[in-house]
């Protein structure tokens, strides 16, 4: 191989490497963009999850209050029923 052929091969590979560098830079930029979008998505999901947990806690508290009220009313009803039955049976 003569010097001219070697120089031509070097120039060719230089051009190829420049093209690869540009492609690698484009892939890196795209990856960074996707990474940022994913981080934003994760933040949105975390906020929505916390909001859902807060709503569940609120709903649970309300249901617990309602069940306790019903239990108290039921106990009062049973007591009244027992008194009525005591009067009727006695």
Is residue 7 pLDDT above 90, yes or no? no
Provide the pLDDT confidence category of residue 1 given band limits of 50, 70 and 90. confident
d(CA 27, CA 58): 46
| Residue 3 backbone dihedrals phi, psi, to 5 degrees | -60, -40
Q: In which residue are the tokens 């309300």 written?
A: 62
pTM for the model stands at 0.55
**In the 8-state DSSP scheme, what is residue 90?**
-
**In the 8-state DSSP scheme, what is residue 86?**
H
d(CA 78, CA 65): 20
| Residue 47 backbone dihedrals phi, psi, to 5 degrees | -65, -45
pLDDT digits (tens, 9 = 90+) for 31-78: 999 999 999 999 999 999 999 999 999 999 999 999 999 999 999 999
Q: Across residues 9-13, what is the average pLDDT?
A: 90
Helix/strand/coil (H/E/C) assignment for every residue in 11-80: HHHHHHHHHHHHHHHHHHHHHHHHHHHHHHHHHHHHHHHHHHHHHHHHHHHHHHHHHHHHHHHHHHHHHH
């Amino acid at each position: 191989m003569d010097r001219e052929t070697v120089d031509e091969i070097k120039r060719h590979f230089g051009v190829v490497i420049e093209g690869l560098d540009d492609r690698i830079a484009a892939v890196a930029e795209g990856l960074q963009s996707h990474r940022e979008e994913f981080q934003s998505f994760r933040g949105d999901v975390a906020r929505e999850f916390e909001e859902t947990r807060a709503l569940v806690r609120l709903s649970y508290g309300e249901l617990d209050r309602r069940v306790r009220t019903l239990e108290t009313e039921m106990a009062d009803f049973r007591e009244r029923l027992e008194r009525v039955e005591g009067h009727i049976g006695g």
